[in-house]
Structure 1
Amino acid sequence: MIFETKEDVDVPRDFAFSRFADFTRYEASARQYGADIRRVNGFTEVAEGCSWRGSAVIRGKARGVEATVTRLNRPEHAQMRTTVGGMTVDVDLYFDDLGPEKTQVRVTAHLKATTLAARLILQTVKLARRQIQGKIDSRIVALANQYEDEYRRQQGRG
């Protein structure tokens, strides 16, 4: 199953990449939501191959989580693979230059079940596809707005 969204952001491509592909920020966010995760391979900076392991409560049950940055091609593309229980989620972030201060960000998430239990969860996800797509879209818009504001403040225009 694939979810895809795109958003035009009024910031330069390098800035958009540095914010949307800030996996350290996502690590902190996951902790705020109760996930117990840690970096496992000694990376101090996020780079290709950097990974995290831990657990998170999902649908009322503690599940193992493993995430790895599989591609980091600055400033065009970043990819992360996350495995939760019997589900694999590949998230691709693409950054297309639309002008000196405008970038199109495309986010694609490929969900794949590797166990029977995960296939059942995917069936539920398919039934709620429209609502989930709406949540993804609104989250990307919120991040875009946040990063545009941050960029304007840095430039002394906000």
Structure 2
Amino acid sequence: MQFSAREDIQAPIEAVFDMMADFERFERMAMRRGVDVRRTVEVPKPQVGACWTAVFSVRGKPRHVSIELSDYERPGVMRFVSVSKGMSGLTTIELLPLSPRHTRLSIEMSLAARTLPARLLLQSLKLGKSRFRRLFQLRLNEFAREMEERYFHGN
């Protein structure tokens, strides 16, 4: 299953990349939403090889995911590989400068099932794909507006 979303942000590409590479902020955001996130490989600064584990509930069952930063090319690309029991995923974040003060943020996610239970879960997710896409785009829009606010007001 693949889906993607993009959003234009009124901020320079370097500033947007720095905000996207603020992994500690993302960890705190996930924890506020009930996700147990832990770094498994500490790196002094964002770089390839950074790893996390996350535990969250999907349909009442705890899901354990390992996430690794597999590609980090400043200021344009970050890729994360995720692996869980029976499923794997790839998330690609790309930034494109539209002008010196505008950046296009594109996020593409793909999930692949490796076991029958994971295939059934993925199939049920596909049934709600259009709703999920709308929700994902809405959240990305909110996140882009938050990044603009942080850029203009230094939060």
TM-score where L is the length of structure 2: 0.92
Aligned length: 154
Unaligned runs of 5+ in 1: none
How far did residue 74 of structure 1 move?
Answer: 0.7
Map residues 1-158 of structure 1 onto 2, 5 A cutoff. Answer: 1-154=1-154
The percentage of counterpart residues that share the same residue type is 29
Instruction: Give the unaligned 5+ runs of structure 2.
Output: none
TM-score by length of 1: 0.90
Q: What is the root-mean-square deviation in Å for CA atoms of aligned residues?
A: 1.4
Query: Is the CA contact 1:66–1:82 (under 8 Å) kept in the aligned structure 2?
Result: yes
Change (3 A) 1:54 1:92: closer
Query: Do the aligned residues in 2 keep the contact of 1:9 with 1:104 (CA within 8 Å)?
Result: yes
SS state at 1:46 partner: coil
In 1: Cα distance, 2:88 partner to 2:44 partner: 25
Give the direction of change, closer, same or farther, for the CA distance of 1:152–1:37 in structure 2 (3 Å limit).
closer
Relative to structure 1, is the Cα distance of residues 36 and 142 closer, same or farther in structure 2, using a 3 angstrom cutoff? Answer: same
Cα offset for 1:8? 0.9
SS in 1 for 2:149: helix
Deviation, 1:140, is: 0.8
State the distance in 2 between where 1:45 and 1:10 align.
26
Whichever residue aligns with residue 67 of structure 1, its letter is I
AA matched with 2:76: E
